[in-house]
Amino acid sequence: MLTCFGLCSLKQKLLILICLSISSLWFILQIPIYEPQFQRINSTFSSASSCRDALHSSRKDGVERTPTARQIYCSMKKNHVAFLKVHKAGSTTIMNIFIRFAIQNKLNIVLPKRTSGYGFNYIGYEDTVRLKNIVPLPYNETYDILCNHVLYEREAFQSILPKDTVNIGIIREPSSHMMSAGTYYGLYHGLLKHAAAMGLSKANIVSEFLENPFHWNVSTAFVHNRMSFDLGLERESFYNETEIERLLKTLDEDFSLIMLMEYFDESLVLMKRILCWETKDIIYVPLNTLQRGASFSLKSDDIKNLKKWNYADYRLYEHFQKVFWDKVHAEGSDFFLEVQEYKLILKQIKRYCAEVEADDTNSELEPLYISESPWSKEFQTTSHDCLVMTADELPLLRSLIRIAWKRFTSASK
């Protein structure tokens, strides 16, 4: 409730009460049991925005709102976070968010040792995090942020990171993941080569593959239950129901949030609330969204076969899809108002950074100022912020690794 209730006019009080009531009713009526009918919510935003504006106006003339339970709980940002970077699930963009947060707050990132060679950006290509694979820290310092490619293993993560570390992950609808990873990592290209050599139809080659995927001599490491593998399921357990259930139980216990790529902004707002961060901490420009080479689509029969082949990934997604929407329900009626506000801010950031990229005068543009809202302090975005937000992953990572080695070497002398 707002302190305005002690100071505002009767008209303002009534307006705020009506808005809060409408927001609560809207939330109850419009939020589905979980995701399938989520699209209906977008059409309600225009009417809900007037309530948001009323909440804004009620804080004019220096009147502050009473801290909510979340704000009291969020007296300090959570600086110890492990983000499990799942392949082809929007994780490069989120990695950039964590890198910027670490730089801004002078935190230590868990970084791979090498700066070159194939897969240098992996802490563990087919392994979890090990001290032997990461840049060491100066004496008496601790690792704060992990956001590179690595396989999840509870004991390994706990041995490297502080006890209060918050684990965050992200997954993607499995058929969408198959199409993206299958293109990006060369599965489709390999199948097309087979089609040409064997005189098969290129139009049906993916369907032929999914009818019997174990028959083909092509690399499937990044498309065969890869999300489950990244999150800790052994390959020999891909069809073991007991082990899959054990994985889901472990992830439920260890992870504060498994995000859904299909609801990227909603996921980030939820992450912001869990980590007690500010909106400035989660702004982004999408990265690594381009595909490599020809792409393909899946027919209904293909998806049926994919559900059999990638059984573990479908179980994973179905489980955490429900968990995600349960968490959203628990956030209350203002959650989607904050998401709407966040999307508007992102549009401003994207336009501003496009201007920065287009500017060839080598002069810094005036900062972009984002005004205070019920969910965020006022902040500004600069040309430098845009440069870091849009930086390619590998050059940025090389720079961070070199700086980390220099710090360690200097401290060891």
**How far is 340 from 58, CA to CA, in rounded Å?**
19
Residue 36's Cβ-count burial label (10 Å; 0-12, 13-18, 19+) is: exposed
Report the alpha-carbon distance of residue 335 to residue 221 in Å, rounded: 38
Q: Which residues contact 66 (CB under 8 A, 6 or more apart)?
A: 1, 2, 3
What integer pLDDT is reported at residue 290 of this predicted model? Answer: 59
Per the document, the length of the chain is: 413
pTM of the model: 0.84
Q: What pLDDT, on a 0 to 100 scale, did the predictor assign at position 361?
A: 72
Which structure tokens are listed for 300? 């209904």
Return the axis-axis angle of helices 10-30 and 45-57, rounded to nearest 10°.
150
pLDDT for res 50: 43
pLDDT value of residue 347:
97
What's the pLDDT score for residue 129?
A: 96
Residue 254 dihedral angles phi and psi, to the nearest 5°: -95, -25
**CA 159 → CA 83, 248, 251, distances in Å?**
16, 21, 17
pLDDT value at residue 124:
81
Q: Are strands 368-370 and 379-381 parallel, antiparallel or unpaired?
A: antiparallel
For 75-185+221-412, the fitting CATH number among 3.40.1130, 3.40.50, 1.10.220, 3.40.1000 is: 3.40.50
Tell me how far apart the terminal alpha carbons of the chain are, to the nearest angstrom. 56
Q: Where are the domains of the chain?
A: 3-66, 75-185+221-412
Q: Which residues of the chain have pLDDT under 70?
A: 1-73, 288-293, 362
Please report the pLDDT score of residue 72 as a whole number: 52
Q: Give the DSSP letter string of 217-283.
A: -S--TTTSSHHHHHTT--GGGTT-HHHHHHHHHHHHHHEEEEEEGGGHHHHHHHHHHHHT--GGGG-
> Using one digit for the tens of pLDDT, what is the confidence trace for 146-187?
999 999 999 999 999 999 999 999 999 999 999 999 999 999
User: From the centroid of its chain, how far is CA 349?
Assistant: 18
